Amino acid sequence: MPNSFDIEMVNTSQITKTRRVVPIIAAVALFALFGLGYFVVGFDQGQLFSIAEGQMAYGQMNGVGYLHEFTHDMRHASGFPCH
Amino acid sequence: MKTLSFLFIVVIAGLLAGLFHGIINVAVVEPYLDRAIGIENQRMFDEGQTQNTPQFWQQFSDYRTWQKEGSVVSGGILGIATGSLFGLVFAYSRHMLPGQNNVKKALLLATIMWAALYFIPFLKYPANPPTVGDPHTIVLRATTYALFVALSGLGAFGFSRLYKKMQNKKFVAFLGYAVFIGAMFVIMPPNPDKISTPMELVNGFRAISAITMTAYWIVNALILGWLWNKVQPHVENQEIQK
Ligand SMILES: [Zn+2]
């Protein structure tokens, strides 16, 4: 079965060319998911919730941010720096 | 491209692999974390910060249960995050990856991305269990780690472009990345923290957490490759009918 790339190789018109390309909206969505999730699990110390809660977000759980405590074990296990 | 199908299989593959990662971690990585946190508690008792009471242990046990549940959910979140980047790069590079089968293609790409985004950074900045890291150096450690991952990832991306352009002597691209990342190894500052936790615990934790991270990448690649074979999101409907 030909895939769209094969078709593009044979037919180089503009129309087929745009088919293979990941739609820009999908690329942006996936990259945003990556950035957000990677930050939340790997690095957040309260920054994300501080957008809504201000300074309070940095000390919800015994002086540490909620997301930091919630993701804590996975943060260590997946190699991110922690305490 | 069938955009929704594409997004769906990418996110599902990441989520399932991430949940798998979170669940096996509860079984095999958590014992190391519990031991490390036990050392931490002992220090707090010795320094008089907390009393060694039944109430403490009750609260502590509830808290750790919550954190372990959080760890599985976080595995799902990290799986979606990493899996999204993986799926995106797969969609762009699939036609360049050798082989006919999307499972094989996905496994090859996962190997490259695992090395560039996880394992090579791990060699420079190895994972540590709790109690090792000094809270005062977290900004420095987080910045250097993020920077190293970004440099390694962008370096791999750049040299993959070179690999594509080279007609022969393609090994030059690998050599280029090796020289680049070798230089970064030397230039980037080391982790400043002194380790006072028993090395047997630290090394055991590092080994087992590296194994489960590797398992995550393999499972994500297997699921995405398998789903890609089934769903064929790159093929337009009318093309299938041809
Ligand atoms: Zn920690």
The tokens for B111 are 């190997």
Residue pointed to by tokens 């993701």: A71
Q: What is the pLDDT of residue A57?
A: 87
End-to-end CA distance of chain A: 53
Which residue(s) pair with A61 in the sheet? A64
Mutate to test the interface with B, among A15, A25, A74, A75 (most CBs of B within 10 A): A74
Residue pointed to by tokens 């974390």: B33
CA-wise closest residue to A43 among A71, A63, A17? A71
Judged by CB atoms closer than 8 Å, whether chains meet at A22 and B85 is answered as no
Of B33, B70, B146, the CB nearest to A76: B33
Q: Is the separation of the CB atoms in A72 and B37 below 8 Å? A: no
Which pTM value belongs to this model? 0.91
Task: Inform me whether the C-beta atom of residue B237 falls under 8 Å from chain A C-beta atoms.
Answer: no
Q: Is the separation of the CB atoms in A20 and B96 below 8 Å? A: no
Per-domain residue ranges of chain B: 3-112+198-241, 133-194
Of B10, B131, B242, the CB nearest to A30: B10
Judged by CB atoms closer than 8 Å, whether chains meet at A34 and B85 is answered as yes
Phi and psi at residue B220, to the nearest 5°: -60, -45
Residues 6+ apart with CB under 8 A from A9: none
* Cα-to-chain-centroid distance, residue B129: 16
What is the per-residue pLDDT across B114-163, written as a single tens digit (0 to 9) for each?
999 999 999 999 999 999 999 899 999 999 999 999 999 999 999 999 99
What is the per-residue pLDDT across A32-55, written as a single tens digit (0 to 9) for each?
999 999 999 999 998 999 888 888
